[in-house]
Amino acid sequence: MQKITILGLGYIGLPTAITLADAGFTVTGFDTNAEVVNILNTGRIHIVEPGLADALKRSMDGGRLTFTHELRESEVFYIAVPTPFFSEMGRISADLSYVSSAAEMVGKVIREGNLVILESTVPPRTTKMLSEIIEKTSGLREGQFYMAHCPERVIPGNMLSELKNNDRIIGGRTKEAGERAKAIYERVLVGGKVRLTDDLTAEMCKLTENTFRDVNIAFANELSIICDELGIDVFNLISLANCHPRVKILNPGVGVGGHCIAVDPWFIYEQFPEEAKLIYAARLRNDAKPRYVADRVSKAVAGKKKPVVAVLGLSYKPDVDDLRESPSIELCHELMQRGLTVVACEPFVPGDVSGIANLPLEEAIDRCDFAVVTLAHTAFREKKELIASKPYYDCVGLMKH
């Protein structure tokens, strides 16, 4: 199988398309957003990721990568579209409309012998559901086409390396589907290994990985609140505790963001609300952290006349432009709802963000009465003395460590 089409050209789909083309496949990137397709066809990228623009140019110059907003026949279809969540009547559920729509589109062009690989992170049993959608749309039976789930396992800022060096979990709906998918990933991987399983286990594996991190971060965030009450440095405490050979506590922050860790635990909880008590408690703790930080900041500026607060960092992690589920943005809105004037500095995103004035660091510090460090951007590490010129609350330990 040499001809591959990627459905979805966002943070996962685009690097995946480029990596497959770099491995020698003939790749077509498909997206319903014509503007994204037009940008990519000019050789530019619409996301921030180190090395991605150069890799895109190599693949396009080599004639192995093209982009379109019209889905056509292919030998392999990758589905790499978003799987957000929504809240309805107090219940949080996965929004599977994007993956369902992608499956319907594939069903209209798929041919016997084709392979479909779902890379989007999904709740248990979604791969089976998509296979049934393709069957219904195409008229083919599973067995006439092949279906597998291979959840992405990359982190923004290091995607091109991790796509080639991280182990990949492949869950085939059938043994042959898994073997066909394995043959593709083995041509891509340099340092990582392919590990075969069934589709249900693969779905749970990705959710388990991110839920583990969410629970660990919740513990760290809870420690930070307790340490505030005790008046001790939580980052020093964690460093000392991690000297134990069997302890590895993550660092706290302003909350948990991004499209994975802040979302995936809900995919387990929505199907198992009675069993997932710890998972639910961790989600509540992490979701509440921006409000806790807002409480601390409000107390710190109480009594000041029309105080201005500068929030330093709006993306969900250091040195990326990804704003999805960002707890820093939620913090800004919390402070604004309390009547405070808020400015921000997010060097990786041009212009204002979600109604928040986004300023250069020097201007943000100059205008503010109080600063909140929410991310350890390299640009902030290099300007710690400037930040320290104003009273501040450090959520991530940037100023001391």
DSSP string, 194-261: EEEEEHHHHHHHHHHHHHHHHHHHHHHHHHHHHHHHHT--HHHHHHHHTTSTT--PPP--S---SSST
Q: Assign 354 to helix, strand or coil.
A: coil
Asked whether 64 and 26 are in contact (CB, 8 A), the reply is: yes
Strand, coil or helix: 335: helix
Alpha helix (H) ranges present in 83-193? 97-109, 126-138, 159-165, 175-188
Structure tokens at 307: 């105080």
Distance between alpha carbon 299 and the CA centroid of its chain, in Å? Answer: 32
Nearest residue to 319 (alpha-carbon basis) of 48, 135, 46: 48
Q: How far apart are CA 167 and CA 182, in angstroms?
A: 12
Element containing residue 296 per DSSP (H, E): helix 277-300
Do the Cβ atoms of 81 and 257 come closer than 8 Å? no
Helix (H, G, I), strand (E, B) or coil at 365: helix
Q: Which residue has the tokens 């982009």?
A: 67
DSSP helix, strand, coil percent of the chain (3-state; round to 5): 45, 15, 40
* Helix (H/G/I), strand (E/B), else coil: 291: helix
Give the H/E segment covering residue 393: strand 392-394
Residues recognised as catalytic: 206, 260
Which residue's entry shows tokens 């198992």?
A: 272
Facing residues of 94 across strands? 85
- Which residue's structure tokens are 């789909």? 13
The rounded distance, in Å, linking the Cα atoms of 167 and 371 is 40
169/197 Cα distance (integer angstroms): 7
Question: Residue 26: which of 52, 55, 4, 1 has the closest Cα?
Answer: 4
